[in-house]
Amino acid sequence: MYCFPETVIFEGVVFLFLRSMTGYAKSDGKNESAIWNWEIKSVNSRNLDIRCKLPASCDFWELEVCQAIKAKIKRGFVSVNLHINRDSKQKKYKVNRPLVRSLFEIADELSAEFPNLNRIDFGDIVKVQGIVEPIESILDNQNLADIKQSIFVDLGIAIDLLLEARKVEGKIIQSLLRELMHSFRVLRLKADGLSSIEPEFFRNKLKNLVGGLLENYSSLNKERLENEVAIILTRGDVREELDRLNAHEQTIMGVLENGGVIGRRLDFLCQELNREANTICSKATTSELTSLGIELKVIIDQVREQAQNVE
């Protein structure tokens, strides 16, 4: 069985692979008395939710099946199915006697009516569909006990194959997240450059406005007006929000580097990024910075969308 590598190098940094919550795998097995098949599928879910569909004769295995899955999978809706049948060489058959009698009765009636017809024999009868039928292939408890260990070995194989499938998709998601965070960093740096220019631009604009007010309205309290202007300037300063965006960005890159079960943490960090981007949009005093804030929000939404499929 091919095992997907656990790490990848990107821009000189070694990243551990993360896992998607979507995957499919199956595993087959047999011995001298039976054949069996495991089928496992997983999709997105906030928590780990397992649904087992087992043959009625071994439904008491459900707890052990769930424990085996929980040992290796932490999030996702996991559906597992087991099919067990007798080996074809061990199958037993029955004859549909009422149907045989009915056919011979019809043959006797036809022979009486048409004497030249050849009489049919059982070799002809068995060719008729429904004459010979397999007996329901249910194994008894002793047979199940004898093959249980082999069946659970194949369950382990199916789970490992599912993990490999989730890693393959996880690699794609991880690559997309790195590219999105690179685009995010480019936009953040542009906004950072504007944040050092914008306060001065806004300050000069306010200064001219206040100067005009003082000239036209001599009764205005100059000191109080200056305090109000200082408050307005502080409210329009987005450098703190950009610093926090930078910190969250570094945290996300660190989370991606460490890999593992990170879906919930990514979702939380996306909420924090979105909060800061919203504040930047509300504080922005130029259309250029507002546009950058909106572009940041678009990238954040894309990151969150991808993170929702991460274990």
pLDDT digits (tens, 9 = 90+) for 150-205: 999 999 999 999 999 999 999 899 899 999 999 999 999 999 888 776 656 666 66
**What would the pLDDT profile of 210-269 be if each residue is shown by its tens digit?**
655 555 555 556 666 566 555 555 556 788 899 999 999 999 998 888 877 888 899 999
How far is the C-alpha of 117 from the C-alpha of 303, rounded, in Å?
80
Is the Cβ–Cβ distance between 132 and 95 less than 8 Å?
Answer: yes
**pTM reported for the whole predicted model:** 0.66
Is the Cβ–Cβ distance between 225 and 216 less than 8 Å?
Answer: no
Coil, strand or helix at 45: coil
How far is the C-alpha of 78 from the C-alpha of 161, rounded, in Å?
14
How far is the C-alpha of 178 from the C-alpha of 286, rounded, in Å?
30
Higher per-residue confidence, 144 vs 2: 144
The domain 171-307 having CATH identifier 1.10.3470: the answer here is no
pLDDT at 68: 96
According to DSSP, the residues that pair with 151 across neighbouring strands are none
How far is the C-alpha of 152 from the C-alpha of 160, rounded, in Å?
12
pLDDT at 17: 73
State the Cα torsion 47-164-162-138 to the nearest 10°. Answer: -150
